[in-house]
Amino acid sequence: MDPILENSITLERMLALYEANRQVLSADDTPILSGIRENAFISLGKLRFPDTKMEAWRHTDLKESLGRGYDYYLHPTKETDIQKVFRCNIPHLDTAIIGQLNGWYVSKDVPLMELGNGIIMGSLAEAKKKYPALIEKYYGQAAHDTEEVFTALNTAFEQDGVFIYVPAGVKSPKPVQMINVIQHPENIFLQSRNLIVVGDDAQLSLVHCDDSYNHQGSFSNIVTEVFLGRNAYLDHYKLQNINNNSTLISSIYFKIESAANLESHYLSLNGGLLRNNIRALFNGPHGNANLYGLYLMDRKQHIDNHVVVDHASPECTSNEIFKGILDENARGVFNGHVLVRRNAAKTDARQTNKNILLTDNARINSEPFLEIYHDDVKCSHGSTTGQLDTEAMFYLRQRGISEESARMLLMFAFADEVVAKIAIPQLRQRIEDMVKKRLQGELRICEQCVLHCSTPEKPLEFRVDVSKI
């Protein structure tokens, strides 16, 4: 089938597309979901696409990204050879793998996996049909921000994505890996929507990757809603490794109930323009959220992490550590916003952003904000930008380590503060290897999924048996 749009993305075009395809878009919706979609469309009409005059987009210019021509489809793109696309991952049967191709859930023969312990994983579109009550309970409850144009756009247009449900008290036996692969012969615009529910006292490890398999440009607008029930635990990893012609707007909304624990990692290794909108809301007391970010950018790559931690409940703790190394003409933006509301007594919030610039053409904008309306809190933030520690460098050189190796070692150590937080040992090992390769400049995007194999003929040699992940 043909794409319904073969042009640059403008709000007018999208609004018109919506009007013309209302029926197709809401085919799987219940009336309530359809209402949410319609509301998003209405707010979309009042918004405009970001420009650099908007405070939240001051350092990230989307003009070029949006201005390229993209194909947009209202149905899954042709799956040429799924086996080939997910070749690297299929053998790892130990990980529950959820595949997405251009935002659409793959393997339609099993659209929804229902594991014996009550865990449900699969296509969101299918889940809407099969578990309407469950979806209605959560869908749109965390990402109800009508001011965010890309969230509204996604809500109006989303047709598929991933749904994961871990019922109360259940511990997911193995990590779940969501892999969204972008592969299309033309530039493609995609919007997918994920809904992840971790019930009361439940536990889940989730690895979420965005990969591109070729050099074609793409524009991804992905919204993920995550609900953590009372005392729930989520260990979340977001790996971003797409080609330099691709733009990724990833908005992730966490709603954290009382005493729940969130560990969330953002590892941005490659990408033309990456924007992470991370929102964590404490909806009950005693919650804890640790957010870690690592970005290694070079060439003209652009990374923008916008993190809002909303302490709406008392006695919650949050800790953000975002570190980045920027090489060549890369640009990095960190905007952290900790909001401590009037009732949030005994909040403990920390925010750290550290950057290393390797060239005079790299640039960083660091904006760690604190907005505090309660006195009984402990809040701090720190931001540093500089180079490698000269004393440490001297120490290493003095011991006969070459400048090159010493630099590498120090950069690796810098990144390790974030990498060391990865709780899955095999994944940590793999990321360590990737960081090393990235720092050595070996990890340039190739024809194949860089996460798994550097060239199709010569698979990457990892010291650890990846199949055990």
Partner 1 sequence: MEPDSDKIIDQVTRQDYKYGFVTDIETEFAPRGLTEDTIRYISSRKNEPEFLLEFRLKAFRRWLTMKQPTWAHLTIDPINFQDIIYYASPKKKKEVAGLDQVDPELLATFNKLGISLEEQKKLAGVAVDAVMDSVSVKTTFSETLSKYGIIFCSFSEAVLKHPDLVRQYMGSVVPYTDNYFAALNSAVFSDGSFCYIPKGVRCPMGLSTYFRINAANTGQFERTLIIADEGAYVSYMEGCTAPQRDENQLHAAIVEIIAMKDAEVKYSTVQNWYPGNKEGRGGIYNFVTKRGICKGSNSKISWTQVETGSAITWKYPGCILLGDNSVGEFYSVAVTNNHQQADTGSKMQHLGKNTHSTIISKGISAGKSNNSYRGLVRISKNAINSRNYSQCDSLLLGSSCGAHTFPYIQVENKSSIVEHEATTSKISEDQLFYCQQRGIDAESAIGLIVNGYAKEVLKQLPLEFAVEAQKLLSVSLEGSVG
Q: Give contact residues for partner 1 (rule: CB under 8 A).
A: 55, 342, 345, 355, 357-387
Task: Provide, rounded to whole angstroms, the least separation between the CB of residue 359 and partner 1.
Answer: 6
Task: Provide, rounded to whole angstroms, the least separation between the CB of residue 405 and partner 1.
Answer: 20
Residue 413 neighbours by CB distance under 10 Å: 12
For 194, the enclosing helix (H) or strand (E) is strand 188-198
Nearest to partner 1 of 216, 318 (CB atom): 318
Task: Provide, rounded to whole angstroms, the least separation between the CB of residue 457 and partner 1.
Answer: 37
CB 366 within 8 A of CB 355: yes
Task: Provide, rounded to whole angstroms, the least separation between the CB of residue 60 and partner 1.
Answer: 13
Residue with tokens 């929102």: 279
Do the strands 188-198 and 218-228 form a parallel or antiparallel pair, or are they unpaired?
A: parallel
Question: Maximum CA pair distance of the chain?
Answer: 70
Q: For the chain, what's the residue count?
A: 469
Bridge-partner residues for 395, per DSSP? none
Nearest to partner 1 of 80, 359 (CB atom): 359
Q: What is the DSSP string of 36-85?
A: HHHHHHHHHHH-----TTSGGGTT---HHHHHS-EEE-SSPPP-S-HHHH
Task: Provide, rounded to whole angstroms, the least separation between the CB of residue 323 and partner 1.
Answer: 15
For 442, the enclosing helix (H) or strand (E) is none
Question: Is 411 exposed, middle or buried, given 0-12, 13-18 or 19+ CB atoms closer than 10 A?
Answer: buried
Task: Provide, rounded to whole angstroms, the least separation between the CB of residue 434 and partner 1.
Answer: 24
Question: Backbone phi, then psi, for 325, in 5-degree steps?
Answer: -120, 125
Nearest to partner 1 of 216, 347 (CB atom): 347
Nearest to partner 1 of 171, 299 (CB atom): 299
Nearest to partner 1 of 117, 380 (CB atom): 380
